[in-house]
Amino acid sequence: MVEKKEKILLIRLSAMGDVIFNIPLANCLKDSGYEVHWLVSEKGYSFVKGNPCVDKVHLAPVEKWKKSGNPFENFKEYLQILSELRAENFDIAIDTQLILKSFLWTRFCSAKRRIVAKNAREGAIFGGNEVIPSTRDGFKRHVVKCYLKFAEHLGLNTDNIKVTLPETSTATKEKITKLLANLDTNKKTIIISPATTWAPKHWDKNNWRELIKRLENDFNLIFTGMPSDSKLIDYIGGDRHLNLTGQTNLEELQELFSRADILVSLDSGSTHLAWAVQKIKIVTIFCCTPEGLYAPLGERSKYIALSGNAACRPCHRKKCPNKNNICTLTPDVDEVLNAIKTLV
């Protein structure tokens, strides 16, 4: 335990998945006796505000600044927030984002110790006055454990990976109860979240379509996604089931994941949020990205990560270098179906 309750600033602005993967680090710091503050942008704010892993949340409205078209006003607001941070007199700042946009906060937040890692990019290494070895080890070390390297540098025990989320509101719970009211209580419920950001992360749509045909008689099926995912979800069979595409915010999605039995998804924000909920079982399909970095951490009795056999995977690239997205064709439907049956 820390003898004196030192004040620490965790700088991780985005994105949704990475903010979630930083929660175990924040819990480790908090449970070790630090007063934990977190600087976050809009994309991760709902997972940090009210989370017991932090004492105080500071919002950096990065997305608003991107859309404003007024750099002068943006800079004024940046200086105002920076002034508020400096007034906190932090003992330590930790930059886990390690890029230019986090450098601008780390370098000038006035923390006595500003800790960065050797794998920083875009000049972010110069934001620190204390540099630790690279937190990455190729595709071998899970990203949660990469972030926990900062806690290890402070001499903390990182064996207990603790994930927490804010409590959902009564209104959210009531909304989800109404949405699920017509489900067959004699059947298990599976959530299908078939979309994510990069094209090479997507499992082939015809695989999804076949999987849905083979599940729909035996399970309640719920489909989630963004409005832009509607065409895909309709194609694979979402229109025949409870289709919540574009109908849930992140808090509502969190509550939904706490009510279902299994999630079948990709390397996506939905999967990472479901893992943080710590209740639902998860089958994750990995195409171009490495499961060793991003698969839900836990026992195989609860989490199964599947990947295909393409020789080129995992390339971890937003665009397929072979221009054929061959990794998205596998694993086959039988393998996914067997994983679901294992968890059931």
pLDDT tens sequence across 53-75:
999 999 999 999 999 989 999 99
Distance from chain centroid for Cα 258: 16
Pairing type for strands 220-223 and 242-243 reads parallel
Tokens of 233: 């979800």
CA separation for the pair 258, 261 (Å, rounded): 8
pLDDT at 140: 83
pLDDT at 3: 59
Domains of the chain in start order, with CATH, are 7-153 (3.40.50.2000), 170-343 (3.40.50.2000)
pLDDT at 309: 86
CA separation for the pair 188, 29 (Å, rounded): 38
CA separation for the pair 78, 60 (Å, rounded): 8
The DSSP bridge partners found for residue 275 are: none
pLDDT at 300: 85
Q: How confident is the model at residue 4 (pLDDT cuts 50, 70, 90)?
A: low
Distance from chain centroid for Cα 155: 26
> Which residues, 6+ apart, have CB-to-CB distance to 141 below 8 Å?
135, 292, 293
Largest Cα–Cα distance of the chain, in whole Å? 61
Task: Decide if pLDDT at 139 tops 60.
Answer: yes
Cβ 215 vs Cβ 291: under 8 Å: no
Cβ 262 vs Cβ 281: under 8 Å: yes
Higher pLDDT, 5 or 162: 162
Q: How confident is the model at residue 175 (pLDDT cuts 50, 70, 90)?
A: very high
Task: Decide if pLDDT at 235 tops 90.
Answer: yes
Cβ 2 vs Cβ 30: under 8 Å: no
Return the number of other C-beta atoms located less than 10 Å from residue 136's C-beta.
16
pLDDT tens sequence across 80-121:
999 999 999 999 999 999 999 999 999 999 999 999 999 999
User: Which residue blocks in the chain are alpha helix, DSSP H?
Assistant: 16-31, 42-48, 62-68, 71-86, 100-106, 143-147, 149-153, 170-179, 205-215, 230-236, 250-257, 269-277, 291-294, 333-343
DSSP 164: -
